[in-house]
């Protein structure tokens, strides 16, 4: 297992080395998620596209919660590794195995039981109801695989290895795309076929990651005795991970509520929203990957007491993320139809989606700042502030504006596209004020230590 020392060397160079596998892994993960919508869009009608779009939005919310919770594990391991506390790292890994195994089974059971009700709560158009139910039901059964994969990758990244998870996602991506064409294209299984392909690929990826971790081991002693539930560590994992999970959940809940608003505008609007969310999901990959790298690198340097290096990491992360964010936004202003046409051949969906994307793409620039600043705080063990300002932006700004804009122009998604960047700007202003306060505290601690 190749582990990168994030506490030494040039900050931009080391950050980029660690973030690049993150980015490629996220890209592949989005590809095998977007493959469902792409393949269904090539072979089926707007109802099937809407079913996959709505169902995948629900599952993205669940995945965001899982990723947030497992980030608690990554941060704790990174802090322990930075402080050279191998026993703490081993105990954190063992506790995570027990905690997330139980959580995955419980969450899967709840989602399977409620899948039909969830589809109804989404105000799914009648034409897309069957496809949506099938997609949510089948993907919910695969939640333990999603949980297991994220735990293994969280452990590896906490130890400084961001490269190995890339290989696991690559395997999943190849399998999912192949099975999408087989089950949807050849066998005509519509949304259900796409869901089966997704679950099967996730299962193979998790098993591969588990076997790899078992064979390679760690640079410190780890045995079966370490696999037990430590109440102190499980509490710390929840304390760190729950706010991050809630933050991700709130963002995705806002997507779900906006989906509910748009679903009442008809199946074309619903499909258009789903297509643009997939495009923006790809566009958000670079800032998300950079932010994830910032969180881990900050945690390792925080554990090592390198506070000055933490700020250099934040600035480098924002600068590199902006390169992608500005490029995506600029292209979306000039030729958005070329992007929406990737996922569908329906001309009405292409046109309506392009109108939505023009405004939404402005968010690709603003999130570069907010994502990295949030990770800067989370890496220091402060995951509550990112959650609180995200909650405010979601419920005070984004959802009310989306509803208001939909009432002003119910025939188009153009105005609604400006709600996300306005809400992110609101978050950014709060982040800037809190960052100044946090920097003064860090400087005070550094002065006391010296």
Average pLDDT over residues 312-339: 92
pLDDT at 450 over 50: no
Per-residue pLDDT, averaged over 352-363, amounts to 91
Q: What is the pLDDT of residues 73-129, one digit of tens each?
A: 888 888 887 777 888 888 888 888 899 999 999 999 999 999 999 999 887 888 889
**CA–CA distance, 439 with 24 (Å, rounded to integer):** 32
For residue 449, pLDDT beyond 60: no
**CA quadruple 53, 56, 62, 63: dihedral, nearest 10:** -120
What's the CA gap between 237 and 97, in Å, rounded? 12
pLDDT band at residue 252, thresholds of 50, 70 and 90? Answer: low
Q: Give the burial string for 248-281 (b: 16+ CB within 10 Å, else e).
A: bbbbbbbbbbbbbbbbebbbbbbbbbbbbbbbbb
Residue carrying the six token digits 């509520």: 257
Look at the alpha carbons of 42, 44, 45, 50 in this order and tell me if their dihedral is positive or negative.
Answer: negative
- CA-CA distance, 229 to 221, in Å (whole number)? 18
Q: 251, 397 in Cβ contact below 8 A? A: no
Mean pLDDT of all residues in 130-149: 91
pLDDT digits (tens, 9 = 90+) for 185-236: 888 888 899 899 989 988 998 888 888 887 877 777 887 788 888 888 888 8
Is the model's pLDDT at 5 over the cut of 90? no
Mean pLDDT computed over every residue of the chain? 84
pTM of the full structure: 0.69
For residues 22-59, b (16+ Cβ closer than 10 Å) or e, as one string? bbbbbbbbbbbbbbbbbbbbebbbbbbbbbbbbbbbbb
What are the pLDDT digits (tens) for 6-45?
Answer: 667 788 888 888 778 877 877 776 666 677 778 887 887 7
Q: Which of 23-27, 172-176, 344-348, 443-447 has the weakest average pLDDT? A: 443-447
* Residue in 222, 52, 23 with CA at minimum distance from that of residue 139: 52
CA-angle at 350, arms to 50 and 42, nearest 5°: 60
What per-residue confidence (pLDDT) applies to 362? Answer: 94
What is the Cα–Cα distance from 315 to 11, expressed in whole angstroms? Answer: 10
Q: Dihedral of CA 100/103/109/110: which sign? A: negative
CA contacts within 13 A on the Cβ side of 349: 26
Q: Residues of the chain with pLDDT > 90: what percent?
A: 24
């Amino acid at each position: 297992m190749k582990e990168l020392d994030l506490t030494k060397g040039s900050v931009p160079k080391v950050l980029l080395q660690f973030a690049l596998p993150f980015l490629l892994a996220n890209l592949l993960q989005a590809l095998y998620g977007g493959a469902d919508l792409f393949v269904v869009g090539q072979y089926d009608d707007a109802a099937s596209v809407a079913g996959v779009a709505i169902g995948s939005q629900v599952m993205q919310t669940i995945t965001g919660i899982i990723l947030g919770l497992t980030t608690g594990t990554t941060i704790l391991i990174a802090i322990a590794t930075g402080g050279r506390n191998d026993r703490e790292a081993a105990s954190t890994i063992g506790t995570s195995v027990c905690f997330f195994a139980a959580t995955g089974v419980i969450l899967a059971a709840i989602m399977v039981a409620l899948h039909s009700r969830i589809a109804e709560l989404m105000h799914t158009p009648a034409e897309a109801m069957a496809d949506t139910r099938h997609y949510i039901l089948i993907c919910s059964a695969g939640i333990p695989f999603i949980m297991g994969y994220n735990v293994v990758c969280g452990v590896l990244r906490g130890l400084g290895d961001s490269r190995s998870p890339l290989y696991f996602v690559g395997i999943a991506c190849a399998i999912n795309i192949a099975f999408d064409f087989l089950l949807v294209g050849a066998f005509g299984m519509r949304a259900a076929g796409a869901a089966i392909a997704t679950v099967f690929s996730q299962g193979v990826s998790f098993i591969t990651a588990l076997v790899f971790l078992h064979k390679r081991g760690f640079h410190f002693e780890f045995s079966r005795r370490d696999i037990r539930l430590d109440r102190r560590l499980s509490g710390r994992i929840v304390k760190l991970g729950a706010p991050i999970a809630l933050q991700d959940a709130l963002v995705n809940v806002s997507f779900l509520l906006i989906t509910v608003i748009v679903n009442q505008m008809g199946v074309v609007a619903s499909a258009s929203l789903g297509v643009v969310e997939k495009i923006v999901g790809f566009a958000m990959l670079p800032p998300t990957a950079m932010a994830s790298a910032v969180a881990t690198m900050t945690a390792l340097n925080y554990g090592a007491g390198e506070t000055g290096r933490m700020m250099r990491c934040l600035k480098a992360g924002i600068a590199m993320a902006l390169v992608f964010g500005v490029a995506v936004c600029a292209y979306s202003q000039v030729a958005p139809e070329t992007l929406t046409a990737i996922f569908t051949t329906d001309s009405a969906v292409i046109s309506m989606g392009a109108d939505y994307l023009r405004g939404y793409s402005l968010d690709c620039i603003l999130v570069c700042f907010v994502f990295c600043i949030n990770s800067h705080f989370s890496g220091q063990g402060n995951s509550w502030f990112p959650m609180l300002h995200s909650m405010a932006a979601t419920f005070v700004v984004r959802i009310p504006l989306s509803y208001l804009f939909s009432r002003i122009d119910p025939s188009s998604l153009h105005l609604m596209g400006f709600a996300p960047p306005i809400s992110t700007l609101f978050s950014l202003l709060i982040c800037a004020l809190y960052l100044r306060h946090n920097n003064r505290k860090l400087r005070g601690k550094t002065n006391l230590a010296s």
